[in-house]
Amino acid sequence: MEKVTQPLANESALSGALDKNLKKLSARLGVTLALRGDQLMIDGDAQRVSFAKQYFDTLRELREKGHQLREEDLFIALDMLEEGPLTCLDDYTPSEPLNLSRKSVNPKSLNQQAYLQAIKTRDLVFGIGPAGTGKTYLAMAMALSFLQNKAVSRIVLTRPAVEAGEKLGFLPGDLIQKINPYLRPLYDALFDLSQYDQANRLIERGVIEIAPLAFMRGRTLNGAFIILDEAQNTTREQMKMILTRTGFDSKLVITADITQIDLPQPRKSGVIHAMKILAPLQEIAFVRFNDRDVVRHPLVQKIIKAYQKAEARED
């Protein structure tokens, strides 16, 4: 065991962010952390303490280079350090927030930052990873940002209507009412990011369209930001169909959790097939999320890890 004291150089902004996130950082670093004024006490295994000290030295260096570190940047810097030594700190720039009508959105992990950057620079992006990693939410935020900045003229949100072990066909109502439960997660993300009345007006005018994947057949979508959600439940034919709908000045973001495929034959998932055959194309970005990117309840991260271990044993 080892105990060291790390000076914070009276960085009040950094101290505040650290104090708020001390428990999360303690868990990630595997040490005990305690703030005493402008001093940080680090206690634990010598190897973990050494790594923690390196991490806080990195934060101080980033601050000295003029970066105003937000809460999110603490964890992005830690992601980078865990992947390998930060030899090129000059290349690290905290992301600018997406300022939307209702709130500002920041990436909370290195993969989330890479995801937003990929969407900005590529016309086709796959976001692959477990539940709660921000795949759909961040794609929606980018879509609204593009619409707000007039980079696209409309948003198209779609997902396959596949039943996750439940039968909804007996529900009363017309086709739209029957499929609405499948599309509810897209509405939830939309209304969380934008003003309710504004979002409804855009939907009524057709600027934002939310529809099942089957409704996309035969269309060409120009000037649109298209999000295909829950793509793990597409067939190969459906995936080919949506990939060929993209028109000029459009972006397509495909999100999928390949650990939760509800198709009768999971191995025939359209997204798994597409990932294999499209991998050589440099114009397409594939961003893979993991349990470190989970932004839901901390227990969700532990649940994902438990399932990953169990599935690895079964394989």
C-alpha to C-alpha distance for 148 and 141, rounded to whole angstroms: 10
Contact between 247 and 217 under an 8 Å Cβ cutoff? The reply is no
The predicted model gives 45-71 an average pLDDT of 83
Contact between 78 and 56 under an 8 Å Cβ cutoff? The reply is no
C-alpha to C-alpha distance for 71 and 16, rounded to whole angstroms: 9
C-alpha to C-alpha distance for 263 and 270, rounded to whole angstroms: 10
DSSP 33-74: EEEETTEEEEEE-HHHHHHHHHHHHHHHHHHHTT----HHHH
Residue 296's pLDDT is: 63
C-alpha to C-alpha distance for 160 and 270, rounded to whole angstroms: 11
User: Across all residues in the chain, what is the average pLDDT?
Assistant: 83
Band the pLDDT of 129: cuts 50, 70, 90: very high
Question: What number of other Cβ atoms are within 10 A of residue 185's Cβ?
Answer: 15
Strand (E) positions, the chain?
2-7, 32-36, 39-44, 98-99, 104-105, 124-128, 154-159, 208-212, 224-228, 251-256, 284-288
CA dihedral 102, 111, 139, 184 (to 10 degrees): -90
Contacts of 254 (CB under 8 A, 6+ apart): 124, 125, 126, 127, 227, 228, 231, 242, 271, 274
C-alpha to C-alpha distance for 98 and 242, rounded to whole angstroms: 27
Question: Is 107 strand, coil or helix?
Answer: coil
C-alpha to C-alpha distance for 177 and 161, rounded to whole angstroms: 12
Which amino acid, 305?
Answer: K
The predicted model gives 25-43 an average pLDDT of 85
C-alpha to C-alpha distance for 109 and 115, rounded to whole angstroms: 10
For residue 227, with 0-12 CB atoms within 10 Å meaning exposed, 13-18 middle and 19 or more buried, which class applies?
buried
Question: What number of other Cβ atoms are within 10 A of residue 301's Cβ?
Answer: 20
C-alpha to C-alpha distance for 5 and 7, rounded to whole angstroms: 7
| Both tokens assigned to 45 | 């295994």
pTM over 0.85? The answer is no
CA nearest neighbour of 227 among 147, 281, 163: 147
Residue 144's pLDDT is: 95
The predicted model gives 277-305 an average pLDDT of 83
Residue 237's pLDDT is: 94
Confidence check: pLDDT of 88 > 70: no
Residue 93's pLDDT is: 66
- Tens digits of residue pLDDT in 246-276: 899 999 999 999 988 988 888 889 999 999 9
Contact between 194 and 100 under an 8 Å Cβ cutoff? The reply is yes
> Count of alpha carbons within 13 Å of 172, Cβ hemisphere only?
0
C-alpha to C-alpha distance for 191 and 200, rounded to whole angstroms: 9
